[in-house]
Structure 1
Amino acid sequence: MPVTQTRYAIDPATAKTLDTGQLRDHFHVGGLFAAGQIKLVYSHYDRLILGSAVPAGAALTLDHMAETGTANFLERREMAVLNIGETGTVSVDGADHSLDNGEVLYIGMGAGAVTFSGAGRFYILSAPAHQTYPTTLIKLSDARRVEMGAKETANERVIIQFLHPDVCQSCQLLMGYTQFAEGSVWNTMPAHVHDRRMEAYLYFGMPEDSRVFHLMGEPSETRHIVMANEEAVISPPWSIHSGAGTSSYTFCWAMAGDNVDFTDMDMVPMGDLR
C-alpha cells in the first residue's frame, strides 16, 4: 500500500496569516522519494495527486488509494509518470514501458494497476478524468521545446512540454518541465495566476546545498517557501508560482482544472507585486 497524506484547500485570506512552518505544512512536500516505497499526496486543489515510486530493486504496484473512494486508483483518473532517475520500467495493462531519464509516460483513465520496477525514480501526477486516452510513452524527441528568456535577465531556459495538446492528448492534466541554462535562476517571472487551474512544481536536478526560494501568495501579499532538491510545492489557483535559485535547476510543472490551454494565464505586472 502507498504511504499517503492529505492536503486541504485554504483561502488566500487564511494563507496570509500563516507563519513559515504553517505555510510548509499546507504547501511544501518534502521526503517524497524513499527507496522501496510509493508515497502519494492527495490535494484538495482540483483533487490533484502527486507522489513518487522508487523501486530500488523490488517492483512496486499502485492499484488502490483509499482517499479516491474508488475500487482502483485509475478507475476515474489519468496519470503522468516522469522518470528523474536511471532507466526504469512502468508496466500498465500487461505492457512494459521503459523510461529513460527525463521521459514521461501518460496513462489513461481505466488502465488498471501500475507497476514500477528497475532503477527509476518516478514522479507521479494524477488528476480526475472524464474521458480516456491511450497510454503513451513520450520520449524527449517527441516533446515540444520552447526556448525562452535571456542571460541578461537570468532566466534563459527551455520549456519542455509533454502533456500538451500539441504532443499528447489528456483529459485534464498538463505537464512538462523547465530547464535553466547555467547562470540563470529566475522562473516564471513576470508572474501570473490562473484561477481556472491549480499547479504543482517539483524542483530537481539541484546540488544538495542549493536552494530555490519559491514565491507564492496573492500578487499583493506574497510569501516564500525554501525548496531543496526533489521537493515539491502545491500552488493554489489564486497564487503566483515563481522563484529564484542559488544555482540553475529544473522544475516539473503540472496543472489540473478547467482547461488544457497552456497559455491561459493572467499576467501580473511587476509593479503590482508586493
Structure 2
Amino acid sequence: MDIRYEVNPIDFKSYSTSEVREAFLIESLFQTDTLQWTYSHYDRLVIGGAVPVEKTLRLDWSDVLKTAYFLERREIAVINIGGEGTVRVDGEAYTLVKRDCLYIGKGKEVVQFESEDAAYPARFYLVSATAHQSYPTKKLPISEAVPTKLGTDAESNCRTIYKYIHQEGIQSCQLMVGMTLLEPNNMWNTMPAHLHDRRMEAYLYFDMEPSSRVMHLMGQPNETRHIIVKNEQAIISPPWSIHSGVGTSHYTFIWAMAGENYTFTDMDPVPMEALT
C-alpha cells in the first residue's frame, strides 16, 4: 500500500513538477490479478484498483489498517470501469457491468472480486473512507442512475453527471461518489472552480485514448499548478485546492469525497479573476 501524507499549502508553493506528481498523482491503479492501494492521510481516504483475470481477488490489507478486516471501521464504493464482473459480499453476489456502482457498508468481512470473461476483465475502482455507522450494501446500475445534464458548447463543458452515493441516493456514513461524462468535443470540467474546505476529493480519469491527456489544475486559487494525467490515473485533491481540468479530448471521471460535511452545497466558488 502506497502511503501519501498531507501537504501544507504553504510548502506546496515551492514544489517542483516531480514533487507535485509524487504527492498527488496515482499513476498505476489497475494491475492484472492484484489489488493496488493508495492510502491518503487527507480524511483517511483509501483509493484502489482491482483487475481479477485468472483468480479471485479478496479485499484485504487489514495488517496495514491495523484492524481485523478491511471494513471493520470502513465503508467502500466499487465502480466497474471494465468488463462484466462480480463482487461477493459475505457470500452474496452482485454483478456489475461498466459504470455500475456498488456501496458496501461498515462491518462486511469477506469481499471478493471476479471477472466474467478473462479476455475482457472487470476493472474495479475502489474508494474507501472511515465509518462510524453501518449502512446496507446497495447496488446502483448505471441504467437506473438519474442523469443531470449541465454545461454549454460555448464553454466546452457539456456533460452528464451521475450521483451514486449521496444524501438523496445510496446512503453512506461520509462517502459521496459520482461520475461525470463529457460529451465529444467538450473538454473542461469544474470551471469556474470551487473549494470545499471540509471535504477532500479524489478524481479518477478514464475512457481516454492512449495519446490523450488531461491537464488537471490544483492548488490554492492564487497559486495553481497543473498535473498531466493519463488514462486510468487518479488525483488526490486536498481541501485547500481547486480541482479542475481540461483534456486534449473528451473523457470521463469518477469523483469521490470524504470529510466533515455531507452536502454538495458546502463549497466556495472561486471567481475566474482570482485564479493565477
TM-score category, normalised to shorter length: over 0.9
2:94 to 97, 115, 138: 97
Matches within 5 A, 1:26-175: 26-118=23-115, 119-175=121-177
The residue type paired with residue 37 of structure 1 is T
> Quick check: 61-70 or 212-221, which moved more?
61-70
The aligned runs of 1:176-191 (5 Å cut-off) are 176-191=178-193
In the alignment, structure 1 segments of 5+ residues that lack a partner are none
Distance 2:94 2:217 in 1: 36
Whether contact under 8 Å (2:91, 2:110) holds in the other structure is: no
Shift of 1:56: 1.1
Match of 1:22, SS? helix
| Conserved? CA contact 1:214–1:225, under 8 Å | yes
Question: Any idea what SS the aligned residue of 2:161 has?
Answer: strand
Deviation string 1:12-33 (CA, Å, 9 cap, x unpaired) is: 0011110010001100001110
Report how far residue 181 of structure 1 moved: 0.5
Alpha-carbon distance in structure 1 between the residues aligned to 2:261 and 2:185: 34
Give 1:66 shift: 2.6
d(CA) in 2 for partners of 1:263, 1:254: 15
**Which consecutive segments of 4 or more residues in structure 1 shift more than 3 A?**
none
Q: 2:208 aligns with which of 196, 206, 209?
A: 206
CA deviation after TM superposition for structure 1 residue 93, in Å: 1.0
- Deviation (angstroms), 1:141: 3.0
Normalising to structure 1: TM-score of the pair? 0.97
* Alpha-carbon distance in 2 for matches of 1:57, 1:260: 39
Tell me how far apart the structure 2 counterparts of residues 187 and 272 of structure 1 sit (CA, whole Å).
18
RMSD of Structure 2 on Structure 1 (CA): 0.8
The answer for the alignment partner of 1:10 in structure 2 is: 7
Unaligned runs of 5+ in 2: 116-120
- Equivalents in 2 of 1:90, 1:260: separation in Å? 27
* Identity between Structure 1 and Structure 2 (%): 52
Please state how far the C-alpha of 1:63 moved relative to its aligned partner.
3.0
Q: Secondary structure at the match of 2:126?
A: strand
Q: Is 2:85–2:113's contact at 8 Å kept on the other side of the alignment?
A: yes
**CA–CA distance in structure 1, aligned partners of residues 61 and 221 of structure 2:** 38
